[in-house]
Amino acid sequence: MMLREVAEGVRVHESECIQSNAVIVDGDAGVLLIDPGITREEMASIAADLRELGTAVAAGFATHPDWDHVLWHPSLGDAPRYGTALCAASIRDVLARPDWKEQVAEGLPPEVADDVPMELFGLISGLPAGASQVPWDGPRARVIEHRAHAQGHAALLVEDRRVLVAGDMLSDVLVPMLDLQAADPIEDYLAALELLEAVAHDVDVVIPGHGSAGDAAQLRARIEQDRAYVRGLRSGRMIEDPRIGSSAKPGWEWVSDVHEWQVERLTGGGGTET
Ligand SMILES: [Zn+2]
């Protein structure tokens, strides 16, 4: 059993690849599976664990339209897979390109590229725009949509369980990765952090898309840490952050490169590039 219970009826499967978290919420007739994972093997192992628990996937949810959040595996079954309307539209645009497979493949980390199943990639049904919850038979999962990391990005607040599934926000290993396509990525990010802060008093456990789950104090600390990082980008001053530079976790040194790239893009140091 690779699943770890982090709150009553909420389990996490952590991938070896970029510490991706798949989140499993127990429902009345099957589970809600959020961001299922990266490799065939690990998704099949989640399916096997669910069988062992006497349950199966009743619904899926993708927090945002990045490749590592819209994968699926046949063993997980053919439950509906939801995302926000914008998430679904964005991934549909990807799938409409004749060479989408090659394009996606180019972005995969080489060490897992061969293990990533592409056959059910991105088959996301969009919720109605502004939908407030995931339509499924289980604890209410409130959709908190915001534009910060990506278009159509949403966190889910599993209200009764006091769990916030944050998508690619509030990580202890990744600095905020801004959506540089947006008109105002910095203000978008700060606004999203405020949305998450507004529900913090309802949360005992935060689960980021990548990294470690944290408690209520961690949630507040991560919001502050991310806000400081983004404000640092805005001011152009030197950013000190434990996730980059010499204090980065071993294996995560590349986050410093992401950081340098963001600084260059946002401070105009790199000039215009499209
Ligand atoms: Zn991700």
Residues 224 and 123 grouped into a single domain: no
Quote the ligand 1 centre to 210 CA distance (angstroms): 7
Quote the ligand 1 centre to 186 CA distance (angstroms): 19
pLDDT of residue 59: 98
Query: Does 217 map to a domain?
Result: yes
Quote the ligand 1 centre to 30 CA distance (angstroms): 25
Query: Can you say whether the dihedral through the CA atoms of 195, 22, 162, 78 is positive or negative?
Result: positive
Query: Does 133 map to a domain?
Result: no
Quote the ligand 1 centre to 64 CA distance (angstroms): 8
Domain termination site, one of 95, 127, 159 = 127
Q: Is 96 helix (H, G, I), strand (E, B) or coil?
A: coil
What CATH number corresponds to the domain at position 217?
3.60.15.10
Tokens read off for 191: 């606004």
Distance CA 40, CA 172 (A): 26
Residues 6 and 28 grouped into a single domain: yes
Domain extent, residue 64, equals 1-127
pLDDT of residue 269: 55
What separation in angstroms does the CA of 274 have from each of 113, 137, 264, 271? 26, 44, 13, 10
Residues 97 and 157 grouped into a single domain: no
Distance CA 123, CA 14 (A): 22
Contacts of 31 (CB under 8 A, 6+ apart): 24, 25, 50, 55, 56, 57, 58, 138
Residues 45 and 108 grouped into a single domain: yes
Beta-sheet strands, E only, within the chain: 4-7, 10-14, 21-26, 31-34, 57-61, 81-83, 125-126, 141-145, 154-158, 163-167, 205-208, 214-215
Chunked mean pLDDT (size 10), the chain, 274 residues: 93 91 97 97 96 97 97 98 98 97 93 93 96 98 96 97 98 96 96 98 98 97 98 92 91 93 81 43
Query: Does 89 map to a domain?
Result: yes
Say how many Å lie between the first and final Cα of the chain, rounded. 46
Query: Does 170 map to a domain?
Result: yes
Residues 101 and 144 grouped into a single domain: no
Residues 268 and 144 grouped into a single domain: yes
pLDDT of residue 274: 42
Nearest to 201 by CA among 221, 213, 216: 216
Quote the ligand 1 centre to 270 CA distance (angstroms): 25
Query: Does 256 map to a domain?
Result: yes
Contacts of 214 (CB under 8 A, 6+ apart): 170, 172, 205, 206, 208, 221, 222
pLDDT of residue 272: 44
Domain count of the fold of the chain: 2
Q: Which pTM value belongs to this model? A: 0.95
